[in-house]
Each structure stands twice: as C-alpha cells, then as structure tokens.
Amino acid sequence: MGEAEPTRRRYTVEEYFALEEQSEVRHEFFDGEVFAMAGASVPHNLLAVNFVSSFKQALRGRPCKAVMEGVQLAVQQGRHYVYPDVMISCDPADQLAQLTFQAPVLIVEVLSPSTEDYDRGQKFNQYKKLPSLQHYLLVSQNSWLVEWRRREANNGWSFMPLVEETDALVIPELNISLTVAEIYEGTGVAPLRIVEEPVVQYAGQRP
C-alpha cells in the first residue's frame, strides 16, 4: 500500500464518505481516524499493474473481478475502510459494486517503508476477519520477495515465501499460475542476493 499520514480530527462514517466524494486524495478510515494516502513509487505501481494484468487474464470467463487500489474495501462496515493495492473478488454483490468491495478472496499489498509493519500486523489481523479472504500477499519493492499467506481448512494461516524466479503463486481455483519473474517483470526491482561471507584462514590452519 502507499504511505499513510494520519490526521488528528476524528470523523463519523458519514463525514468520511463525504470527504472521499470531495477529495482528490484517497483516505483510509479506522475507528474515526482518517489517513491520507500518499502517492506510490513507480515500482509500486508497476507491481500492482503486473498482478492485475495477469489476474484478469487468468479470470477471463469466470465470475470474478481483479481491481487495483482505487477500489475501496469495507473491512468492517461502519468501522474500517481501506484501499488495498490489488483485490480479487468472486462475490456476486461485489460484481455489481460501483465503489466498494466487501468480500475479496485475495488481497495484495505492496510494502512501503512507513506501512510495512502495519501491513504485516494490525492490518492483516483485520483482514483475517473477512470470511471470504483466502490469500494475502505482501510484496517487496526492494528485492524479489513475495510473502504468501493462505487460509487453511482449520482456519489457520500458512506462510510461503516466494523468492526464486521460478517460484510461483499457484491458485488452481482461480486459474492463477504466476512466477516471481513475471511479478517483477519490467519493475526495475533486483532479485534477492545472498552474499556469502569469505572464509578467513588463520595462521597454522590447514586450507
């Protein structure tokens, strides 16, 4: 997600919606607090575009929609509204929605320095309350790393890091098969490099 800057005033939900109608800047809302969303970097934007382009192709002919950050998500009606970087919803009501999704099956957040801890912690804890949500992806814009969290049958969440270029996000029920190389294609973000420490030879030690 883009960087967020909190304001001091507390808002009612009605005031928040009125603000969104008039403002050129999007805001997120949580328990009366409003957060202005700062502009995203070029890699941030390109990562979101890569996801949406691939998702739309995979979902062709299916009753699902993939949308970018301009679409609002009601995490909790009357309490929590956000703008995820990318969402997929197969919910019939969301297919008719004009402004706000309520039941995404997948959410992608591209990490920013000021929001990384929030996306991993408090925000994820709120997202988990969505019964529809099955997949949550946190995407680094510093190096090739996609953190894939998936809801399991016991309602717990598994974790899989995708790092290598051939590592893939594979979700058969959504017809998605997307490699890390495809996710980062054209973004200018470099692969994660592991630097091995040189072996230090000491006097009297055999090589």
Mean pLDDT, the chain, rounded, equals 90
Is the whole-model pTM more than 0.75?
yes
Report CA-CA distances (Å) from 191 to 51, 114, 163, 184: 18, 22, 8, 9
Q: What percent of the chain has pLDDT over 90?
A: 75
- Where is pLDDT greater, at 47 or 113? 47
Do the domain assignments include residue 160?
A: yes
- Which residue segment(s) compose the domain that 138 sits in? 41-183
Among 190, 144, 182, which residue's Cα sits nearest to residue 49? 182
Give percent of the chain with pLDDT exceeding 70: 89
> Does residue 136 fall inside a structural domain?
yes
Read off the pLDDT of each residue in 46-52 and give the average, rounded to a whole number. 97
Strand-pairing partners, residue 80, are: 30, 76
61-102, pLDDT tens digit by residue? 999 999 998 899 999 999 999 999 999 999 999 999 999 999
Q: What is the CATH number of the domain that holds 139?
A: 3.90.1570.10
Q: What is the pLDDT of residue 206?
A: 55
- Domain assignment of residue 28, yes or no: no
pLDDT of amino acid 35? 87
For residue 40, what are its two tokens?
Answer: 């995203």
Answer yes or no: is 71 within a domain: yes
Is the pLDDT higher at 180 or at 3?
Answer: 180
pLDDT at 36 over 80: yes
Total domain count, the chain = 1
Beta pairing class for 157-162 and 146-151: antiparallel
**What pLDDT, on a 0 to 100 scale, did the predictor assign at position 69?**
85
Burial 116-155 (b: 16+ CB within 10 A, else e): eebbbeebbeebeebeebbbbbbbbbeebbbbbbbbeeee
Residue 132 lies in a domain: yes
